[in-house]
């Protein structure tokens, strides 16, 4: 039985990049990113013989990320990811596929006596995400998303009618707290001059609205309703993938203290937790690229 080299890639992970745009001497703009690049292609020689002829140093990848960020503002992280991915596949012949992942950490201006402060910020909720892949045929695909978008509603959620056996102790309920930290990714049908920020804002707002407004019999039902609504709202999106950890809240037993607890005091458990994952897919659209960095 023979042994061969299987699929492989390499790159520079988590290049931390903060860009301060000082075009306005007083009102600065802040961009805070974490960028990861990985390349694949004609790289067998370095694995099998230690021949690095076709290897672009990962330090060079880091330098390119910083240099591109210096050349122009990073207004749209999807556009920045596309620019980087296309560069690596076009500038270096041994590279046939480049994947770029970007996390953008949101900052909000601190409120001052005369309005938002021009150059002081506080970290905001939720992390914006973008990923891009450039393949050997020049085709590109883009995925956007959000992470750590923590949401909770104090009613409008139930969980009953589930399977039971001798190990089941969970009691059914018609009313419970439902909380989760949303991780969502949505794939664009085309990569081009899209309004990336507008699309992101609409998708994020839709996720929040549907979570809040949809009566839920299970977190799975909420997940699909959220993904379905994002696709219904934006025809330029092909699929939505969601991961929703169930942030359990349990009523505290106050009877030892002579008190009742009609859904007032809860214990917020951090682990273990249920993890619900699923996809809403628009039929008739081309499949995702195998190397698309979800």
What are the Cα distances from residue 252, in Å, to 155, 218, 260? 17, 22, 10
Q: Rounded to two decimals, what is the model's pTM? A: 0.93
The answer to whether 108 and 144 have CB atoms below 8 angstroms apart is no
Tell me, yes or no, whether 88 and 119 share the same domain. yes
The answer to whether 201 is a known catalytic residue is no
Q: Is 204 within a domain? A: yes
Q: Which residue has the tokens 């999106």?
A: 237
Tell me, yes or no, whether 115 and 21 share the same domain. yes
Segment (H or E) for 21? strand 10-21
Cα 186 to chain centroid distance, Å, stands at 9
Q: Which of 103, 188, 247, 248 is catalytic?
A: 248
Q: Is 122 within a domain? A: yes
Q: Among 92, 115, 138, which residue terminates a domain?
A: 138
CA neighbours closer than 13 Å in the CB half-sphere of residue 162: 17
Tell me, yes or no, whether 116 and 62 share the same domain. yes
Q: Is 292 within a domain? A: no
Beta bridge partners of 172: none
Residue 176 CB neighbour total at 10 angstroms: 22
Dihedral angle, C-alpha 174, 157, 159, 252, nearest 10 °:
-70
Q: Is 4 within a domain? A: no
Tell me, yes or no, whether 79 and 193 share the same domain. no
Tell me, yes or no, whether 25 and 84 share the same domain. yes
Q: For the domain that residue 156 is a member of, what is the CATH number?
A: 3.10.270.10
Tell me, yes or no, whether 233 and 263 share the same domain. yes
pLDDT at 223 (0 to 100) = 98
Q: Among 76, 108, 138, which residue terminates a domain?
A: 138
Q: Is 97 within a domain? A: yes
Question: What is the token pair recorded at 26?
Answer: 């007083």
104 backbone φψ class: left, alpha, beta (φ>0; ψ -120 to 50)? beta
Question: Cα-flanking dihedrals φ and ψ of residue 44, to 5°?
Answer: -60, -40
Q: Is 291 within a domain? A: no
Looking at the chain, list the stretches that DSSP marks H as alpha helix, in order from N- to C-terminal side: 44-48, 58-71, 77-91, 196-213, 219-233
Q: Which of 12, 103, 247, 289 is catalytic?
A: 12
**Full domain range(s) for residue 47:** 9-138
Of 179, 226, 171, the closest CA to residue 203 belongs to 226
Query: For residues 132 and 85, what is the distance between their CA atoms, to the nearest angstrom?
Result: 7
Number of structural domains found in the chain: 2
Residue 151 CB neighbour total at 10 angstroms: 18
Q: Which of 46, 58, 189, 214 is catalytic?
A: 58
Tell me, yes or no, whether 184 and 282 share the same domain. yes
Cα 102 to chain centroid distance, Å, stands at 9
Tell me, yes or no, whether 21 and 79 share the same domain. yes
Contacts by residues 203-211 (CB-CB < 8 Å, ≥ 24 positions apart): 203/144, 203/146, 203/230, 203/233, 203/234, 203/237, 203/240, 204/126, 204/146, 204/149, 206/230, 206/233, 207/146, 207/149, 207/182, 208/149, 208/151, 211/151, 211/153, 211/180, 211/182
pLDDT at 78 (0 to 100) = 97
Tell me, yes or no, whether 152 and 236 share the same domain. yes
Tell me, yes or no, whether 107 and 52 share the same domain. yes
Residue 60 CB neighbour total at 10 angstroms: 12
Q: Is 278 within a domain? A: yes
Tell me, yes or no, whether 99 and 194 share the same domain. no
pLDDT at 193 (0 to 100) = 64
The answer to whether 160 is a known catalytic residue is no
Q: pLDDT tens, position by position, for the chain (294 residues)? A: 899 999 999 999 999 999 999 989 999 999 999 999 999 999 999 999 999 999 999 999 999 999 999 998 998 999 999 999 999 999 999 999 999 999 999 999 999 898 999 999 999 989 999 999 999 888 899 999 999 999 999 999 999 999 999 999 999 999 999 999 999 999 999 876 679 999 999 999 999 999 999 999 999 999 999 999 999 999 999 999 999 999 999 999 999 999 999 999 999 999 999 999 999 999 999 999 999 999
Q: Is 2 within a domain? A: no
The answer to whether 12 is a known catalytic residue is yes
Query: For residues 150 and 179, what is the distance between their CA atoms, to the nearest angstrom?
Result: 7
Tell me, yes or no, whether 70 and 200 share the same domain. no
pLDDT at 97 (0 to 100) = 97
pLDDT at 1 (0 to 100) = 84
Q: Among 85, 120, 138, which residue terminates a domain?
A: 138
């Amino acid at each position: 039985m023979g042994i061969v080299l299987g699929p492989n890639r390499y790159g520079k992970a988590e290049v931390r990049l903060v860009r301060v745009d000082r075009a306005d001497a007083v009102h600065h703009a802040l961009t805070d990113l974490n960028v990861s690049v990985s390349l694949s292609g004609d790289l067998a020689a370095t694995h099998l013989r230690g021949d690095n002829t076709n290897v672009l140093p990962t330090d060079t990848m880091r330098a390119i990320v910083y240099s591109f960020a210096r050349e122009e503002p990073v207004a749209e992280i999807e556009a920045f990811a596309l620019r980087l991915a296309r560069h690596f596949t076009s500038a270096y012949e041994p590279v046939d596929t480049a994947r770029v992942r970007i996390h953008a950490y949101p900052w909000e201006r601190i409120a001052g006596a005369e309005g938002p402060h021009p150059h002081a910020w506080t970290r905001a909720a939720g992390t914006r995400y973008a990923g891009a892949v450039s393949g050997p045929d020049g085709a590109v695909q883009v995925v956007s998303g959000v992470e750590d978008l923590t949401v909770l509603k104090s009613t409008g959620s139930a969980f009953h009618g589930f399977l039971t056996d001798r190990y089941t102790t969970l009691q059914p309920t018609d009313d419970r707290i439902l909380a989760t930290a949303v991780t969502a990714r949505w794939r664009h049908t085309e990569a081009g001059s899209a309004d990336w920020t507008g699309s992101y804002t609409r998708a994020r707002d839709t996720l929040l609205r549907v979570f809040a407004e949809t009566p839920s019999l299970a977190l799975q039902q909420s997940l699909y309703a959220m993904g379905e609504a994002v696709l219904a709202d934006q025809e330029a999106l092909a699929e939505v993938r969601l991961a929703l950890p169930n942030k359990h809240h349990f009523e505290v037993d106050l009877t030892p203290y002579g008190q009742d607890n009609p859904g007032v005091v809860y214990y917020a458990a951090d682990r273990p937790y249920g993890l619900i994952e699923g996809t809403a897919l628009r039929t008739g659209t081309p499949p995702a690229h195998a190397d698309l960095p979800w």
